[in-house]
Amino acid sequence: MRHMKNISRIPVRAQESQGLCTDINDNLQARFCFVLAFFTDVFLPLLLPFVNIKAGDNAEEAAE
């Protein structure tokens, strides 16, 4: 990809992950893994408090 630049002269191997993103072979798979990581690491933690609030409301209604 031409729009990417090196941030250091010494190449470093990417951190090993598990699941679908263990062996990335092409750009499409790399983009998919980036979106998957974004949703699981950024978007989901932002959404989780709202889900817990709604789940707590439903549990209180069921207890009554």
Cα separation, 28 vs 6, in Å, equals: 21
Q: Report pLDDT for 37.
A: 87
Average pLDDT score over residue span 35-58: 86
Q: Report pLDDT for 17.
A: 60
pTM of the model: 0.51
Cα separation, 28 vs 35, in Å, equals: 11
pLDDT of 12 over the 80 cut = no
Q: How many percent of the chain have pLDDT more than 90?
A: 3
| Burial of 36 from C-beta contacts in 10 A (0-12 / 13-18 / 19+) | middle
pLDDT of 58 over the 60 cut = yes
